[in-house]
Structure 1
Amino acid sequence: MKTVFHRRVAPVLLLVQVAYVALLEFAFTFLTPDTAEIDHTEPGTSATVSYAVVVVVALLALAGGAALPGSAQVRGRTPRAVRAGWLTLLGLGELAVAALFLRNAAAGASGPDTLIGVLASLASCAVAWSCLTETSTLLRGTPA
């Protein structure tokens, strides 16, 4: 059961996060009303190159993190140290994401956003647990 979770469920959760981030970026980029004349004249933070680079790197890290445990071919081609480092950073990042979702859920009024925040936090914790468990398996030298 644990192997099924690590090899199938966690990668799917990571790909769902990729889709979530991509959908939000699309919505914030193309579906926001143009209020530059009313509010201000400078572009928002989502229009900067550094912001775009951070989003692309995050999406690649999530997609690569999904490929590492989810694909035997990728797992076999990736050096053990790279896998351990990538999964450790991804696991710690997922814990940070879970904390942010919980903070936002606790700060807001009770409603659908609270439920979404709690569910997203649980999913992030599950992915973090999977990544960190895989890392400990790699560091112990147990065949993955």
Structure 2
Amino acid sequence: MMNVLRRRAAPVLLLGQTAYVVLLEFAFTFLVPDTAELDHTESGSSGMLLYRVLVVVAVLGMLGGAVLLGSARVRDGIPRAVRAVWLALLALGEVAIAVAFAGSAVVGSPGPDTVISVLGILVSGCIAYSCIAEAGSAMRGAAPEASV
């Protein structure tokens, strides 16, 4: 059962989470009215560039983690140390996402946002668990378990 979570469900959850991030970035970039001229709050280009780079790195890390968890051929082709570090960093990122969702759920009033926060915590928790378990397997040098 846990093998199904680690090999099949976690990559799908990561892909869904990546699509969520990309859609939110698209919406905040193109669908928000430009009021900088009215508010005199033009943002610096270097800050936006750094933000965009960080988002791209996070999305690529999440996509790579999904491939790493979901494909035995890719998993076997990557050195164990690289695989363990990549998945450990991804797990830390997922814990940070879960904490952010928890903070949102605690501060906000009960409603649809609370449901989304609880779902986000569950998804991030499942992904973090899968990454930690897979990183542990990589560090131990254990052969990957056969998929059911």
**TM-score normalised by structure 2 residue count:** 0.92
Percentage identity across paired residues of the two chains? 58
Unaligned runs of 5+ in 2: none
Report how far residue 136 of structure 1 moved.
1.2
Aligned length: 144
Asked if structure 2 preserves the Cα contact closer than 8 Å seen for 1:11 and 1:69, the reply is yes
Asked if structure 2 preserves the Cα contact closer than 8 Å seen for 1:69 and 1:75, the reply is yes
Which SS does the other structure have where 1:48 is aligned? Answer: helix
Report how far residue 12 of structure 1 moved.
0.5
Which SS does the other structure have where 2:39 is aligned? Answer: coil
Asked if structure 2 preserves the Cα contact closer than 8 Å seen for 1:101 and 1:118, the reply is yes
C-alpha spacing 1:60/1:23, structure 2 compared with 1 (3 Å): same
Find the aligned partners of 1:143 and 1:73 in 2 and give their Cα distance: 12
Q: Which residue number in structure 1 is paired with residue 142 of structure 2?
A: 142
Report how far residue 140 of structure 1 moved.
1.9
Find the aligned partners of 2:52 and 2:78 in 1 and give their Cα distance: 27
Unaligned runs of 5+ in 1: none
Report how far residue 105 of structure 1 moved.
1.1
Residues 47-58 of structure 1 correspond to what in structure 2 (within 5 A)?
Answer: 48-58=48-58
Q: Which residue number in structure 2 is paired with residue 26 of structure 1?
A: 26
Find the aligned partners of 2:100 and 2:4 in 1 and give their Cα distance: 28
Which stretches of structure 1, 4 residues or longer, exceed 2 Å deviation after superposition? 43-47
1:4 lines up with 2:4 in the alignment: yes
